[in-house]
Structure 1
Amino acid sequence: MLILLPPSETKREGGDAARLDLARLRFSSLTATRRRLVRELRAISRDEDASLKALKISARQRSEVLRNRTVTTSPTMPAIDRYTGVVFDALDSATLSAEARSFAAGHVVIQSALLGPIGAMDPIPAYRLSHDSKLPGVHLAKTWAPLVPQEIAATNDLVLDFRSEAYVALSPLPRGGNSWFLRVVTESDDGSVRALNHFNKKAKGLLTRALLMHARDLATVDEVFTVAVQAGHRMEFGDPGEIRLFTSGV
């Protein structure tokens, strides 16, 4: 089983591990591509105004440019601990058991715009690059779209795609077979069902946590449903290749 998560714009500072070593990241065949993107990110970071424009951030976020300038020399920490925001706050990696963290190392992949798919325990620095950022001479979707699906497919695992639509667009995966996209929905009093935007992040984080705490490899979606129900979640099949996770939206 492979749980594919989106990254987060916000990231925790610091780290106890050595600087970024691209060779240590999961999916080593992507090292050359990662090296090129890191090089371009560092190059544009020397021009603050160009960086703010490329990253689509305001002058109040100048510290993000400094992060990028030092991306190859700053300390690292496991990716699952580096990212913050709603998904990762709900996942709450710091309180996972040792067994759950060990399980995450082999079964959680985070889709980074800068580094592509990385393992949950891969050591990474703080950086700023989003799915819609613009690096000179680099088209992120054209860079990652041909590479990521084949890397994920090569695992031959059940794939649970919990990414946001934006990161799905960055590296689309086929739906159906062993690959399932998770759509978070809510049900109104009249029985109508609608997809959620903001609140879907918390639901994804909580479901990921439940699967990690279960710490057992799952081979089918039906097994995922069983674990989800035991953790208090409601799930059902949706459109072809999709599963629905119901939440109250609060």
Structure 2
Amino acid sequence: MLVLLPPSEGKAPSGRGAPLKPESLSLPGLAGARQAVLDELVELCAADEEKAREVLGLSEGLRGEIAKNVELRTAGARPAGEIYTGVLYDALDLASLDAVAKRRAARSLLVFSGLWGAVRVTDRIPSYRCSMGVKLPGLGALGAHWRAPMAVVLPDAAGTGLVLDLRSSAYAAAWKPKGEVAERTASVRVLHAPTRKVVSHFNKATKGRIVRSLMESGAEPSGPAELAEALRDLGYVVETAGVAGAGKVRMLDVLVDEVH
């Protein structure tokens, strides 16, 4: 099983660990594309703070994020699972998983990133600011920048099992499963049961809890139908949405009663 996650906008401090070693990151087929983004991002932030703030879409209060990007090559690095914070990652709470569940998370979880493309939660990275929606002056839109290398690397990373896609739309644009990979991919929406509407906060929190439940349970669903059954066994209310078809991702709706 491969679980595709969005990153968080807010991130924990880099800390005092050894600096980034780009060659140590998972998915080495993305190395060239990573280097291109890293080089331009560092140069932009070092050369022109105002332009960098505009390009990165940062408010005046987030100006300090630019200095963080300047130091990306020398800042301390920590496991990505410790760097990413926010509602989904708080609910997932990787640090409190038992040893077996942590090993499953290390194998199964892939976090998408405007800067790194995608990393595993054990990959050591510094804290940074660069969303997938950014359009760098030289490279252009990052979603488009990542599509070609992702199309080569991700099908192999997906293996032969379920792909659970929990990414937001900006990150989903960097890689869209196709063919038989799409047929064993499930995308999950979390809906408030009484209104059938998506609400951002509990959408993210519930997705975090779903991933935690799957890591703890040891479930290994082979496709969307098996995932729906596994989630029902874990106590979730699940409905299939849309129509399954050749080369299509299957949508599952998880219904929750309370907004929390």
User: TM-score scaled to structure 2, two decimals?
Assistant: 0.88
Per the alignment, do residues 226 and 92 of structure 1 end up closer, same or farther by CA in structure 2, a change over 3 Å counting?
Answer: same
The match for 1:39 is 39
Computed over aligned residues only, the root mean square deviation of the Cα atoms, in angstroms, reads 1.8
Matched, 1:229 2:232: yes
Task: Check if 1:183 corresponds to 2:183.
Answer: no
Q: 2:252 is matched with which residue?
A: 243
Report the CA distance between 1:84 and its aligned residue. 0.5
Deviation at 1:29, TM superposition (A): 0.8
Distance in 2 separating the partners of 1:16 and 1:105: 22
Shift of 1:18: 1.6
Give the secondary structure class of the aligned counterpart of 1:195: coil
Which residue of structure 1 aligns with residue 247 of structure 2? none
- Residue 61 of structure 2 corresponds to which residue in structure 1? 60
What stretches of structure 1 of length at least 5 have no aligned partner?
none
Q: Which deviates more from structure 2 when the two are superposed, residues 65-74 or residues 175-184?
A: 175-184
Corresponding residue SS for 1:4? strand
Give the aligned partner of residue 129 of structure 1: 130
Q: Give the one of 159, 163, 169 matched to 2:163.
A: 159
Match of 2:175 in 1: 171
Secondary structure of the corresponding residue to residue 198 of structure 1: helix
Distance 1:20 1:143, change over 3 A: same
Following superposition, the deviation at residue 228 of structure 1 comes to: 2.2
Match of residue 147 from structure 2 = 145
Greater CA deviation, 109-118 or 132-141?
132-141
- Work out the percentage of aligned pairs sharing the same amino acid: 32
Match of 1:200 among 198, 203, 212: 203
Q: Which deviations, in whole Å up to 9, do the C-alpha atoms of 1:141-173 show, x marking residues without a partner?
A: 221122224322223231000001221123333
Q: Which amino acid aligns with 2:152?
A: Q
Residue number in structure 2 paired with 1:72: 73
Q: Kindly tell me the number of residue pairs found equivalent between the two proteins.
A: 247
Residues in 2 aligned to 1:212 and 1:62: alpha-carbon distance in whole angstroms? 37
Residues in 1 aligned to 2:62 and 2:197: alpha-carbon distance in whole angstroms: 35
Partner of 2:215: 212
Kept after mapping to 2: 8 A contact 1:17/1:123: no
Amino acid at match of 2:114: A
**C-alpha separation in 2, matches of 1:25 and 1:17:** 16
Deviation at 1:244, TM superposition (A): 1.3
- What's the secondary structure of 1:170's corresponding residue? coil
Q: CA deviation at 1:216?
A: 4.6
Amino acid at match of 2:32: A
Larger mean Cα displacement after TM superposition, 135-144 or 33-42 = 135-144
Using the TM superposition, give the Cα deviation of residue 16 of structure 1 relative to its aligned residue in structure 2, in angstroms: 5.4
In structure 1, what is the Cα distance between the partners aligned to 2:90 and 2:31? 29
Letter matched to residue 228 of structure 1:
L
Contact 2:191 2:254 in 1 (8 A): yes
Summarize the Cα distance change of 1:204–1:149 in structure 2 as closer, same or farther, 3 Å threshold: farther
The farther-off stretch of 236-245 and 76-85 is 236-245
